[in-house]
Amino acid sequence: MDRYGALTARTYDLLSGEPVYAVGRHLGIRALGLSPGQRVLDVGCGTGLNLPLLLREVGPSGHVVGVDRSAAMLDAARRKAAPPGPADGSGGGTVRLVQGDMADEGVLRAAAGGQPFDAVVATYALSLAPDPSRVWRALTTVLAPGAGVAVVDMARPTGIAAWAAPLARLACWLGGADIDAHAWTVVQPELEAARSWSRRGGHVRVVVGTWR
Ligand SMILES: C[S@@+](CC[C@H](N)C(=O)[O-])C[C@H]1O[C@@H](n2cnc3c(N)ncnc32)[C@H](O)[C@@H]1O
């Protein structure tokens, strides 16, 4: 059974710990330095918490495509992707949501629709993949040369934050993530000008660079 079913989808935005995790998505997306009109892929997009941030960056002529294997999570994302009202600041770019496995090249090619992406984001998603390197290989088939890549994921808190390690492990376990997957280490060596950040006592890791 997929743990990202209807109940999780309904409660995710409230219970998934945004006060802890939002910092990663904001930092990663800002560091991508997206431009108006660009095409961005969000893998494991979940309930679409990244969508307003991405739409703001790519503007009315931009495109955001979210891929997730959970129909229920995509339904929640669809509500965030509804045509923006004038005051919401999201800019009115188009959003397309595709259900499927982010490790499946065919799914990613269908998501790309024949046009490579200028950037990809994976926030708190790669650590759920049994084989993050397979996801990365599939992603490279749909990225334009020089595409921006942002991976945001979790690790055990360290130093003075180590006291929170059991909580962090519980949060990851509840979400089906492997806290020790360190999925960014698969991607980082493939990037040019890679930069990395550590937040929340090392629990939130952000790697951003350019795919060469
Ligand atoms: C912890 S949530 C993160 C959602 C979102 N990226 C965020 O930052 O809030 C992980 C998401 O990845 C999705 N997911 C896990 N494995 C996947 C896979 N192999 N292909 C596509 N989506 C997947 C789950 O359905 C879930 O929506």
> Tokens standing for 137?
């290989």
- What does pTM read for this prediction? 0.94
- The reply to whether 1 falls in a domain is no
Ligand 1 contacts CB of residue 129 (under 6 A): yes
The Å distance, Cα 152 to ligand 1 centre, comes to 12
39-43 and 63-68: which strand pairing?
Answer: parallel
Domain count within the chain: 1
Q: Which CATH number is 52's domain given?
A: 3.40.50.150
Ligand 1 contacts CB of residue 80 (under 6 A): no
b/e burial code for range 32-70 (CB count within 10 A of at least 16 → b): bebeeebbbbbbbbbbbbbbbbbbbbbbeebbbbbbbbb
Ligand 1 contacts CB of residue 101 (under 6 A): yes
The Å distance, Cα 86 to ligand 1 centre, comes to 29
- The reply to whether 69 falls in a domain is yes
Sequence-ordered alpha helix ranges (H) in 62-196: 71-80, 105-112, 132-140, 165-175, 184-187
Residue type, 187: V
Atom of ligand 1 at shortest distance to CA of 103? 19
Nearest CA to ligand 1 atom 19: 101
The domain in which residue 130 lies consists of: 6-211
pLDDT by residue, tens only, the chain of 212 residues: 678 999 999 999 998 899 999 999 999 999 999 999 999 999 999 999 999 999 999 999 999 999 999 999 999 999 988 655 545 545 567 999 999 999 999 999 999 999 999 999 999 999 999 999 999 999 999 999 999 999 999 999 988 888 888 888 888 888 889 999 999 999 999 999 999 999 999 999 999 999 98
Neighbouring C-alpha atoms within 13 Å toward the C-beta of 14: 5
